[in-house]
Amino acid sequence: MRYALLFLLLLSPGLVRAQAEALENPGAVSAIQERRFRMHHELLLGVGVLPANAYYKGLVGTVGYTYHFNDTFAWQVGRGTYSYNLQTSLRRQLERDFNTSPNAVAFQDQVQWMVGSDLVWSPLYGKMAFLNSTVLHIEAFLLGGGTVVKLDRDGGFRPAVNVGLGMRLFTGKTLSLRLDVTNNAVFTGPTRVIQVPLIQFGTAFNFGATE
């Protein structure tokens, strides 16, 4: 009983303060605005890199189409990525100094191209002040889906699971800039999985969005 009283005694200043605050400054203020940028049919043209493999680096180009059901949910119906691969100095050294065969298994994980589809969830939409003179609108999203990857080997089609996140900077009603960081977990064998991360910067064209 004494502890309960003591507890209430300790609690009371906080309660009084909260009530006084509510009495003095009642109400909550929000800025309610029409959402300025809305997406509908999105065509993406992107360039990026496959940076992770030690034996090659891929320079990629991507084309994709996304249908936006609403402001938070979309389906990237299709995306196709082609990779132009550059051999690293490590691989050249292995081939030159250690006579490693160009067809060695380790070198066959090169991605030639890949196609896939993802679901996109955009929970974050906000704005930033640039130099206190311009307001920039941004959106952050998560995406996940499946990919078919063509590796540099005979019959090299492999399935993959793609997950990633991205950010979009709106520059206008019909144009936005998009940064995607994704990872494809490619199932190259029954027990072997390789990770193919992709960093991609793209320009997204938006068609058919209503005001």
Partner 1 sequence: MTSRSLIAALTSAALLVSPAPAAAQSASGARPTSPAPAGTATPDAGAKAPASADAPNAPAANTPAASGAPPAEAPPRAPEKVDPGVFDKALKAYFDGKPRDAAGPLYAWLQAAPKTDENYAWGQYFLARSLIDLGLTHAGASYLARIARERSNPNVLPRALDALKALTDRPHDEVMIDQQVFGALDLGFLPEETGAYAHYQQGLVDLRVGNERWANTHFAKLPETSAEASRAKFALLVTRLKQAQEPSDEIIADFLALSEEEKLTREARNEAALAVARLRYERKDFKGALEAYDRVKLPELDPGRASLYLEEAWTRYKLGELRAALGILTTLDAPSFRDEFLPDKYLLRALIYRDLCHYLPAKRAAKELTRRFADSLEAVRNREDLTQDVRLRRAANAHGGTQRAARFLEVLELEGERLGRYAGSFGDRLFSHLTKLYDLSRAEAVRVHDARLAEAVRQEADTLLRAAEQVRLMEYEVGLKLYERVKKGARVVAPEDEQMLSPTQTAYRFDGEYWNDELRSYRVRIDSRCIEETP
Binding site for partner 1 (CB under 8 A): 23-35, 38, 70-71, 125, 127, 129, 133-135
Angle at 157 between CA 98 and CA 190, to 5 degrees: 75
Q: How far is the CB of 133 from partner 1 (least distance, A)?
A: 8
Q: Which two tokens stand for residue 126?
A: 């906000």
Q: Nearest-CA neighbor of 118 among 180, 179, 66, 159?
A: 66
Nearer to partner 1, 126 or 155 (CB): 126
Q: How far is the CB of 136 from partner 1 (least distance, A)?
A: 11
When the beta carbons of 2 and 35 are compared against partner 1, the nearer one is 35
Q: Select 36 or 92, whichever has its Cβ closest to partner 1.
A: 36
Which of 182, 112, 168 shows the shortest CA–CA distance to 138?
168
- Smallest gap from Cβ 123 to partner 1, in A, equals 13
Question: Which residues are CB-contacts of 164 (< 8 A; sequence separation ≥ 6)?
Answer: 142, 143, 144, 180, 181, 182, 183, 198
Give the residue with the Cβ less far from partner 1, 135 or 163: 135
Least CB distance from residue 22 to partner 1, whole Å? 10
Angle at 178 between CA 176 and CA 184, to 5 degrees: 150
Give the containing element (helix H, strand E) for 6: helix 2-24
Nearer to partner 1, 132 or 191 (CB): 132
To the nearest whole angstrom, how small is the minimum distance from the Cβ of residue 32 to partner 1?
5
From CA 63, how far away is CA 206, in angstroms rounded?
14
Of residues 30 and 191, the one with the C-beta less far from partner 1? 30
| CA atoms of 1 and 95, how far apart (whole Å) | 82
Please state the closest distance from residue 36 (CB atom) to partner 1, in A: 8
Residue 158 burial (CB < 10 Å; 0-12/13-18/19+)? Answer: buried
